[in-house]
Every structure is written in structure tokens, then in C-alpha cells.
Amino acid sequence: MTDRRDIPYRFEPTATAAQLHAAHGDLAAGESSGVQATVAGRLMLRRVQGRLCFGTIDDASGVRIQLFAPAAATPDYEEFCGLSIGDWVGASGEVMKTRRGELSVQVGDWRLLAEARRPFPDKWHGMADTDTRYRQRYVDLWVSPGTREAFEIRSAAVAAIRAELAARGFTEVETPMLHPIPGGAAARPFVTHHNALDCDFYLRVAPELYLKRLIVGGLTHVFELGRIFRNEGLSPRHSPEFTMLELYQAYADYTDMMVLIEELSAAAATAATGGTELEVGERGLDLAPRWRRATMAEVVSEFIGRDLPVTGEPDSPAAADLRREADRLEVATEAGWSAGRILAEIYERRVESEIWDPTFVCDFPVEVSPLARRHRHSDGLAERFEAVAAGRELANAFTELADPDEQRSRFAAQEHRRRGGDSEAMTTDEDYLRALAYGLPPTGGLGLGIDRLVMLLCGTETIRDVVLFPTLRPTAGGGEP
RNA sequence: GCCCCCGUAGCCAAGCCCGGCAAGGCAUCGGACUUUUAAUCCGCAGAUCGUGGGUUCGAAUCCCACCGGGGGCACCA
């Protein structure tokens, strides 16, 4: 005789709930299929009615299926009725529809697969406390509608991006996460220590400088899709660890990167949601190419309502003009900032969040773009853009700066800012300069925030909804008793 | 780091302004029920009201500090 409480070492379902609904959904109410099936999942609902018991299990296949257990046919019926909501159960029997037309497996045999020793949340209200949802995601995934879906969207989007890049001949690589010199982005790093080498390392803030070393090394199409770490504030749009697609393509420039971002984003949206038209909050958004291209000067001028100067030394009339606008918009500036720096500040603080439809904001001031090549036509600007949608930055890209001498002077300018108290300014990476000295061909590169893209696909306002285990302050002992 | 809001049973919650026995629902436990769909009906039990201090005859409620979360600012993508 089977001990139903004896957990088996192995269990073999023959069908998922989704498969059974697809194969037998057209059975008439009260009809039996004659087909045997074994299903397994978590018991989400249970209705005992005297000599009949109905259970609803969720097997994560997207739909639930009912277990129909008549006392006369179900072994250990009393014990079956005693199963708790949240228990994992496997059941075998004929696929049938009840008189009320609910597709079910009539339980001819069953096993307990795991006991829920802690009670599951309310079957109707679910889990409302965000703290508990994030800390106990293993419960949230079962009881909160949409949680699992968000991570399926995320998985589909990432898979689509990898497939698109493979089809274009890109090589996926993995570069160090432990960096002796933090580089590739203006951000404060996490610091850690290696005992055997007795030296500090920084968790990477960007893989950029390593990936460009690979272009020097002849890997002409490379990308890395992985976690990066920035020791900065948390917000609905910022997580200390987040996922970035970073990509470099030899012989390409930033206009090629625009096309690539459009195509990758549209492919990810289509794979994950079935189309490029999305709903974010109350508003619609379409990721289909072709996205708007506008210069930073244009979008800021539009916002303010008149043409603005773009470049100028700190003491120029252009800088004074922009400073007046910044003051009027209550954007703080510092003495010694060039016109471009002020323009970029106004853009970041006031304009970016107002841009809704997907837009490439192009031609950043060169002084805020230390790794981007100077614009081929416009003095004082760099061939750099950010992709913006729904008021949020999605991606950052440029035509890469390849000249080692100019790169050295750009690093020097960053060092100067660092000495001035800017803790996010870059430090000089001598080995990177050496790599450039071996020759970096014309190259386009991009960094695309995967979490931000998935947020658009899910229509959510908070990054924690697309991160399985968001960073939270640890609790004593790692959890409640 | 600063500002605002929140924290009541395993879960969802009322009560808090205006101090006076801590509602209700789900889950659990016991009972009834042979086609349920958040099953229904009857009954039992379950609460250091986030933690600590203060005011008061009396504090979930008012005050202070701390812990945790959310939002905003700052910083950034």
C-alpha cells in the first residue's frame, strides 16, 4: 500500500495543464476523453463536497487544471481531501470534463510531492506587501498575477536579442567582472578585496573598455549581455545591479547603432509580447522602426521654445545664455561649465523625462562623452546618442574614440574633474591606452539597459518588477523565523 | 544622506483625525454536504497592534527614537 505522505524521489508528469487544455478543451460537459494523463503542480484551491473533492493545481504552464476526485475512485480519499493549499501534488487519471464543463483529471492515483508547511497567502487577495513580495519571491510567483509573466517576457526578450545578434554574426563574450580599475562609465563602483593577490578589485560599472580591447584583438563583432554594478541610489528605475547589453561593431558608426537598437528592440518586443505596440501606464508606445532622430540641441530648444546655442567656452555669451535658461528652470550649474555641459544638464534634468515616443537624442557635448569620437562636422560635439522612450533612457551609444593620444587627454580631463571632487569621473587606464596604440578601427558601440527595455515590454514603472530578487536591506538572519 | 507616507493574526484588512473590551474576510482546525469554480453553511481557535521609550487613570490611536518598506530629492542608466 502506498504511503501518500512518502515523498517520491522522482515523478513523471505526462502533460502540462496547457497541453491538456489544448488537446481536450473541446470535450463536452460531462464527457470523458478515454485518455490517461499525469499532471503535477501546486494545489491552489480545494473544494471538498462530501463524497467529491475538487482541487485546482497550477503547474506554471500558463493555465490551471482541475483535479476531480470522487471518493469512490480516489485512493486514500480522506487524505486527498486533507491536502493543504500550497502542497505540491501529482495525480494520474482520465482527462474529462465535469458536468459544469470544467476540464479535469479524474484522480485515479495521486502522490504528495511536497508539503506546504507554511500557509499560503489569501487565495483571492494574494500578497499586497511589496516588501514580502520581493523578499519571498518564491511565494509571489505563485500568488501574484503578472509576476511570473514579467519574467517570461524578460526571458523571451533576452532570447530574441541573442538570436538577432547571432544572426548578424556577433560573438558573445564574457569579460571580467572584477576590474583593477573601474572604467567605461561615469559611476561609483563597489569595492572588494582579493585575499591571495592582496589587492582591491572593483565590480565592473561597464564592460566597455574590455570589449573594445577585443575589437583591437580582431573580434570585429562582439557583445556581452550581463550584470553590471553601480554603487548608487536605488529608485524605481535604478538597481545597484542591473543587466546591460553592450556591443561593439568594427567599421560601423553611431548611425549603424541606431538601426541596430531599433531592430533589437522591435524583435525583443515582438518575441515577448507579440508586437511592437506597447502600453506603458495609460499611454501607448510603439517600438517599431523608425525612431525619431533629433540632436540634443534640438530637443532642448523645442522644450524651451527657441533656438539655443550648442557650444561655447565657459565665459562665452553662449554659456551665459544657457546658464540663464538653466537658472530659470531651476537646474543647478557650476561656474566653469561650458555651454555644452550646461545644455547636457538641462537635457538630463528637465527634457529627457518628457520624451515619450522612442527617440535618439544625438550629438552630446564632447566634454561629457570621454570615450566617444568627436563629431565629424560639429565642433564641440561627440558622435554620441542616447535612446529614450517613455521618459527613460534605454540605451547609450557612440562612434568610438580610437585615437590613443586624444583618449589620453580625455582621461586627463576626467582626472582633473576627479581631483575637483567628482567621484564618478573616470580614471586613466594605461593598458586600454596601450591597446588603442595597437590600433582600433572605426567602431560603433552601444549599451542597452535590458531591465529598462523589459520594463517597457511589461508596462511597469518599477525596475523591481523585472528583477527576480531586488536588492533590499538585509534582515537579521536573512529572514523571519 | 535628506524629506514625505506606510507597518494591526500565515494572508487581505477595519479601527488611528477625535485615547476607553482589537471589526470582518481568506487560510488553518472541528462538523454538514455526490459536480464545485474565491463552493456553501455551522462552530472553535489564532494578535508582544514593527521595536523601544514617553505622555496619560487608560495608548493600535498622541509624542520621541530606532528597524523595515514605498515614494520623492540627490546621484545615475
- Which among A334, A330, A352 is positioned nearest to A342, based on CA atoms? A334
Strands of A171-172's sheet in order across = A171-172, A221-229, A241-250, A443-449, A392-399, A384-389, A359-362, A292-295
And the C-alpha cell for A303? Answer: 522644450
The two most distant CA atoms of chain A are separated, in Å, by 92
- The mean pLDDT value for A345-357 works out to 92
Residues 6+ apart with CB under 8 A from A182: A189, A202, A204, A205, A426, A427
Nucleotide nearest to A241 (CA to C1'): B77
Convert the pLDDT of each residue in A50-71 to its tens digit. 999 999 999 999 999 999 999 9
A52 CA to B72 C1' in angstroms comes to 54
Peptide bond into A111 cis (omega under 30): no
pLDDT band at residue A2, thresholds of 50, 70 and 90? low
- Dist CA A39 CA A59 (whole Å): 8
DSSP letter string over A159-184?
Answer: HHHHHHHHHTTPEE----SEESS--S
In the chain, the amino acid numbered A409 is S
Pure H helices in A329-394: 339-346
Cell 500568488 maps to which residue? A143
Cβ-based contacts (< 7 Å) between A 27-86 and strand B: 45-52, 54, 56, 66, 68, 70-72, 82, 84-85
Residue A263: its H or E element: helix A254-273
In the chain, the amino acid numbered A459 is G
Residue A37: Cβ within 10 Å count: 22
CB of A236 lies under 7 Å from some atom of strand B: yes
- Highest mean predicted confidence (pLDDT) among A188-197, A214-223, A311-320, A327-336: A214-223
Task: Report the pLDDT value the prediction gives residue A152, as an integer from 0 to 100.
Answer: 94
- Which among A246, A236, A215 is positioned nearest to A396, based on CA atoms? A246
Pure H helices in A368-443: 404-419, 430-437
A75 CA to B68 C1' in angstroms comes to 47
ipTM above 0.90, yes or no: no
What is the DSSP pairing of strand A199-203 with strand A178-179? antiparallel
Which nucleotides of strand B come closer than 7 angstroms to any CB of the protein? 1, 10-13, 25-29, 32-40, 67-77
Beta bridge partners of A194: A199
- The more confident residue out of A460 and A5 is A460
And the C-alpha cell for A192? Answer: 572588494
Query: Closest protein residue to B38 using CA and C1' atoms?
Result: A124
Cβ-based contacts (< 7 Å) between A 386-415 and strand B: 386, 393, 396
pLDDT over threshold 90, residue A4: no
CB of A173 lies under 7 Å from some atom of strand B: no
Task: Report the pLDDT value the prediction gives residue A105, as an integer from 0 to 100.
Answer: 97
Query: Closest protein residue to B69 using CA and C1' atoms?
Result: A131
Window from A66-70, A122-126, A291-295, A451-455 with minimum mean pLDDT: A122-126
Cβ-based contacts (< 7 Å) between A 264-293 and strand B: none
pLDDT over threshold 90, residue A40: yes
A91: left (phi over 0), alpha (psi -120 to 50) or beta: beta
Task: Report the pLDDT value the prediction gives residue A476, as an integer from 0 to 100.
Answer: 60
Q: Are A215 and A207 in contact, with CB atoms under 8 Å apart? A: no
- The mean pLDDT value for A5-11 works out to 90
Cell 563629431 maps to which residue? A375
A390: left (phi over 0), alpha (psi -120 to 50) or beta: left
Convert the pLDDT of each residue in A271-322 to its tens digit. 999 999 999 888 899 999 999 999 999 999 999 888 888 878 888 898 899 9
Task: Report the pLDDT value the prediction gives residue A479, as an integer from 0 to 100.
Answer: 43
pLDDT band at residue A334, thresholds of 50, 70 and 90? confident
Q: What angle do CA A61, A62, A66 make, to 5 degrees?
A: 80
- Which among A414, A398, A409, A399 is positioned nearest to A433, based on CA atoms? A409
